[in-house]
Amino acid sequence: MTNTSQEDEVRRAVPHTRRRFLTVSGAAMALALGTNLASGNTASADSKKLRSDPFTLGVASGDPLPTAVVLWTRLAPEIFDPLGGMPDKNYKVEWQVATDERFRNVVRAGSATAHPEYRHSVHVDARGLRPGREYFYRFRAGSYLSPTGRTKTAPESRDRLSKLRFGIASCQAYPDGYYTAYQHLVEEDLDVLLFLGDYIYENAVNTVGGDRFDTSAQVPDIFQAAPVTLDQYRLFYSLYKADPDLQAGHAALPWILTWDDHEVVDNYAGGVKGTVPVEDFLVQRANAYRAYWEHQPLRLEQLPSGPDAQLYRRFDFGDLMQVSVLDTRQYRNAQPRTITGEAQMSWLLDGLSESEARWNVIANQVMLAEQRTTLTNPPGLNVDAWDGFPEDRQRLFDGIVEREVEGVCVVTGDTHTNYANDLKLNFDDMNSRTVGVEFVGTSISSGRDGFDTSPQLELQLQANPHSKFENGQRGYVTFDVNRDEIRADYRVLPYVTRRGAPVETRTSFVSERAEPGLKAV
């Protein structure tokens, strides 16, 4: 399974070449993030002159590959300052990756430049790591040492893998409540977390952080206005990322993130938001996308160029699971009507077709299954979700059937509600083929304390026989994947407007690869 001779070689090489690694990695980073990004500022400030801890927004890792993972931090001694309390100069940030929490066995190290144009965010693509391994990482700026993060590389892509554990999370409106869910999520021993959108909300946050009602929060008045410009979006990330539970969530495991609408503005579609002129909205979108990239553990391929960013992408976890991460916001169009855009749909279908993985997970934002919200004919539907784009959904389902794609598992966010859906080739015919399953995860905090069920959810269960479960509590979903079966555990919290909520498993489902369809556990 593992390549012993190569491991030995790496292990032997480390003690002798650590200094050389430092130089080489440092140079590689400069090439990746320095030279090609225009900056007239060649002055580099002395990091020793930092007057207070710059690691106020924590550390993060993400987008794991078999031999690489992105490490993120941002220098921001003052979180509500437009420059993060940093001088308008480049800063040197050193980083280390070790196999142990105490950094006795450092296997990779280097230095990166934190640029003021990127608000001193640091994105290190730490390469040359071993597949499927746990690592610890940290940063240093001047005399300040960051918190230690834990991460994990993906297994070697062609290796036979017997099992994997991952989680999904989404929708964390800051003023709606505390991120207690992450306190529990970090105890789950997951290999990776898929974050499915609505990381920030553009909604105003008052001085006490809304329903957190934290009188010590002292949230500045600028958060009373919805963000439009880059400085405003950056401040929203500063506020959100200052949350200790969210920081703990990032520090505990690698995340693979995608966005939905609220990272820009509610229910936007491509270049359209209400009556805002497209030219102006695209500038707002460019500002929002830039702030997103600056604050997430993403590679350079995801760096936006103005209003355009390549966020849809794919990850392999051995031969067990392939994850196709979608962007169902940026390419929406009214005529021809599409939620994915032509290029992304082709990319998705081609990827599914070529996949050799046992499970094909699609990390998706808005609900893919039909969801009738009334018992009327025609039924009420949420046209912001795939229900507003039935042609694209049919194309995807037909593609899955035609290309004989197996192990289709869609994971979704958006609705602040847990759902478990059989994906029917024809939702009007329960006897039609089940092409896969969809697990919709509830919100981390959006929607406040939540509820187990409601008359509306009861009605929807009745109106949608392909939906096996609907629940309005807060939380996240964990998945145990093996070669023949995927199991979902819906982990829920009874409240979020107060701290300290416990977690419990509300329900569990399994679906078999050979015969897709939800079965209660």
Partner 1 sequence: MTRFTFLRSPRTSVAVLAAASIALLVGPAVANASGSGHGNAPREPGVEVSVAEDSAGLNISTGQCGGAPVTVRLTNAGTQAVYADATLSADRALTLQRTMISTYLPAGYTAQVPIPVTAPLGTDPGSYPFKVSAGKSTATAAINVTATAPDPNGDLAWSASKISASSVHAGYPVCGAVDGDSDGEHWGTATGWNDGNSTIWPDWFELRWDSPQTVGRVTLHTLDNTKYPAARYGLKDWDVQTLTDGEWRTVASVRGNTQGVVDTTFEPVRTSDLRVLLLAGNGADDYSRIVELEVFAS
> Which residues make up the interface to partner 1 (CB under 8 A)?
3-6, 32, 35-41, 65-66, 82-83, 88, 116-117, 131, 156-158, 175-176, 203-204, 206-207, 210-211, 215, 221-222, 224-226, 228-232, 234, 279, 282-283, 286-287, 290, 299-301, 303, 305-307, 310, 314, 316, 447-448
Q: How far is the CB of 388 from partner 1 (least distance, A)?
A: 18
Closest to partner 1 by CB, 255 or 289: 289
Measured at the CA of 310, the angle between CA 312 and CA 199, to 5 degrees, comes to 70
Distance CA 126, CA 69 (A): 6
Contact in structure between 158 and 429 (CB atoms under 8 Å) = no
Closest to partner 1 by CB, 221 or 515: 221
Can you tell me whether residue 95 is helix, strand or coil?
Answer: strand
Q: How far is the CB of 301 from partner 1 (least distance, A)?
A: 5
Closest to partner 1 by CB, 38 or 514: 38
Contacts of 335 by beta carbon, 8 Å cutoff, 6+ apart: none
* Bridge partner residues of 125 (DSSP): 70
DSSP state of 222: G
Closest to partner 1 by CB, 142 or 175: 175
Q: How far is the CB of 194 from partner 1 (least distance, A)?
A: 19
Alpha helices per DSSP H over 417-510: 455-463
Distance CA 216, CA 418 (A): 33
Q: How far is the CB of 204 from partner 1 (least distance, A)?
A: 5
Closest to partner 1 by CB, 203 or 434: 203
Torsion sign over Cα 411, 417, 419, 423: negative
Q: How far is the CB of 104 from partner 1 (least distance, A)?
A: 26
Closest to partner 1 by CB, 219 or 251: 219
Closest to partner 1 by CB, 27 or 300: 300
Q: How far is the CB of 480 from partner 1 (least distance, A)?
A: 26
Distance CA 185, CA 60 (A): 15
Q: How far is the CB of 487 from partner 1 (least distance, A)?
A: 28
Closest to partner 1 by CB, 145 or 269: 269
229-to-43, 241, 289, 292 alpha-carbon distances in Å: 27, 19, 11, 13
Closest to partner 1 by CB, 148 or 373: 373
Distance CA 269, CA 513 (A): 34
Dump the DSSP string for 377-415.
SSPP--TTSGGG-HHHHHHHHHHHHHTT---EEEEE-SS
Can you tell me whether residue 426 is helix, strand or coil?
Answer: coil
Q: How far is the CB of 342 from partner 1 (least distance, A)?
A: 19
Q: How far is the CB of 374 from partner 1 (least distance, A)?
A: 15
Contacts of 190 by beta carbon, 8 Å cutoff, 6+ apart: 165, 166, 167, 253, 478
Q: How far is the CB of 120 from partner 1 (least distance, A)?
A: 13
Owner of token pair 């609705």: 415
Closest to partner 1 by CB, 232 or 338: 232
Contact in structure between 175 and 148 (CB atoms under 8 Å) = no
Alpha helices per DSSP H over 148-243: 180-185, 230-241
Distance CA 461, CA 264 (A): 32
